[in-house]
Chain A
């Protein structure tokens, strides 16, 4: 038999098994989720949630699908947050400091309160990656922000109105496209295929009788 705990969804008390996550506890309580529920496994950021433990002051942020319930949890999910994404043409921008200034000038209003880092559901050093973005060090910004799931909890807490996930995303796209070294073997292979170098070989294997392909498959050498 499960141990039961009292939790409060939008201020209303429910008794739920303590083994559940916030998300499954809401369903246990009878909620049919539409917003605030996406991948259910911690990758999509749909279930950004804030809670306090009754009687305690500290405000917590979490992903509802990745957080176990506790006694006295007062929970509100954030079904949508108006993140401020600026649009741009990836082919036309350059990975220099100017682009951050143009698209996300508010990052320079950061007051260094570190509320973003404290709010991060992934445990990322958010303020530091914003600092890298300010300096135009997009590679470092990209690396530090890489595990961001875009839940937006950082932005909710930011007094400067920064949309941190969007800053990280821009830095990653700039890094992936312009800063990381090119893959020669990839470009070569695309060229070879475009020149038809595999057309005949692929036709040949497609035409083979199944028994012959079975033999090829079962005896193929496997790279160590």
Chain B
């Protein structure tokens, strides 16, 4: 329950509710948004970034924690790994068991390739599982892929790679159809029309959802399909470095059994990095909405093998993470809460912004409200603003919350807060890595043959900010594409001898740059255990 001080502020929120419901807050102009972002978005805090000292992005900025991973030693440096002893031999090796990896596996299998997934936790332990609000696709008569392109391109500050964004929007309706035919239960009306809503920065209602378990419904369906197809999934087994062949092409990975600590060798004709995001790096000490394993492993492995990053300096802070209570601090409060009508309201009961600005703008606006403007609500862990959830029931009728966002209702009821009656407290949470490994329109990295990347590990699909619902979409579109492309490419490959020479070369480059460290990467799991001594 809320503290008495918080309840005083709740009364102010309640007092202004009827009046606020009669007026739609103004949207910011392009100039206002630019100024706001520069002053308050965490991406603009220069002290939170370091220069990358070696490798293809040398001289560019990255969050300090990511730069540190790139400047760390390989886990297998000095380990005696016998590359002639092959533990797994496959056509397509998929690293990562989230939505992108599972989609890739299904399509590669469909194309007749021998495919396997390795994942450091379980298949489905992934950010996909936790995506709540929905998935975009321009499939309504008043919409078009071109409109979707415009929304995403503008929302991403005109920085998306056009060839990637084109694929995202043009293949979106087919992605929804594919999922539906696998058995994903989208919210539909009795005639079969998809129930769609807005997300921040959309100009058409194109957010498809499965209540607020959208990602979970998609993930459990594609996971079930992977298992039905008997595709090997090696769980609790992390890839720790890519292996190349003597021609410099991707040719597999060194694997680590997370439980026994043993290393193994997987040889593959094509490799897909689908390792997801980096929320558990806690950039700038933000809490995160991400799953336990989101530690940028794929970015580190790819970079060490020579693949460049793109937009590694742009991070998405989801505007509405849980600010209170502490037990769920940083957990995601889906944007769908605002799609359904809830406003962002400060401690004084004022709607300080339009609730459906893009995520970067909304996050910066909340940070401004809680800092410079001094109109945040104080909490034990910091501050937050109100998300006026009782409005949803007023707009949509009693029962709307239970029907459309049951996960949110359940999460708060666990701690005695009924969001149908009371507003909830939110503050930005580290949510998504906008940047990642650079790929071409075909899904392959541009510099390492036979290496593909899909999902959150890719940079450039969304530009410098991502719209709600475009990530669930990208893992399906680019996951499927990677699976098909990897299977096709694998047909004509004769591998040379395997080598880890690039690991030694990277170590030399670190030494030459004067970077001496005892840290190793990829991190694999965050270090949360408290050890008293």
Binding site for B on A (CB under 8 A): 19-21, 24, 27-35, 37-44, 46, 66-68, 85, 87-90, 122-123, 142, 146-147, 149-150, 169, 172-177, 180-187, 189-190, 193-194, 198, 201-202, 205-206, 210, 213-214, 216-218, 220-223
Contacts and interface: CB of A to CB of B under 8 A. Distances in A.
B440 interface: no
Closest 8 A-B residue pairs measured CB to CB?
A173-B183, A181-B192, A217-B154, A176-B185, A176-B183, A38-B125, A177-B183, A189-B139
A113 B375 CA distance: 53
A146 B227 contact: no
Interface in B149-196: 149-151, 153-154, 158, 162, 166, 169-170, 173-174, 176-177, 180-186, 188, 190-194
B518 interface: no
11 contacts: A30-B531, A34-B525, A66-B411, A67-B414, A68-B327, A180-B185, A182-B192, A202-B146, A213-B153, A218-B29, A220-B151
A214 B154 CA distance: 7
B150 A177 contact: no
Contact of B130 (A43, A142, A217, A220): A43
Given A35-B236, A198-B170, A202-B170, A147 B227 contact: no
Contacts of B213: 43, 146-147
A176 B183 CA distance: 4
A223 B144 CA distance: 13
Nearest to A37: B292
A184 B141 CA distance: 10
A35 B122 CA distance: 9
B116 interface: no
Given A38-B292, A201-B144, A222-B202, 15 more contacts: A34-B259, A38-B121, A39-B125, A44-B122, A66-B411, A68-B415, A90-B228, A169-B224, A177-B181, A181-B192, A185-B193, A186-B176, A198-B146, A201-B145, A213-B154
B192 A184 contact: yes
B220 A169 contact: yes
Contact of B150 (A33, A122, A205): A205
Contacts of A19: 326-327
B228 A147 contact: no
A183 B194 contact: yes
Contacts of B331: 41-42
B529 interface: yes
Given A34-B259, A38-B125, A39-B129, A213 B158 contact: yes
Contacts of B129: 38-39, 43-44
Contacts of A41: 130, 289, 291, 328, 331-332, 411
Contacts of B328: 41, 66
A88 B224 CA distance: 10
A179 to B, nearest CB: 9
B224 A210 contact: no
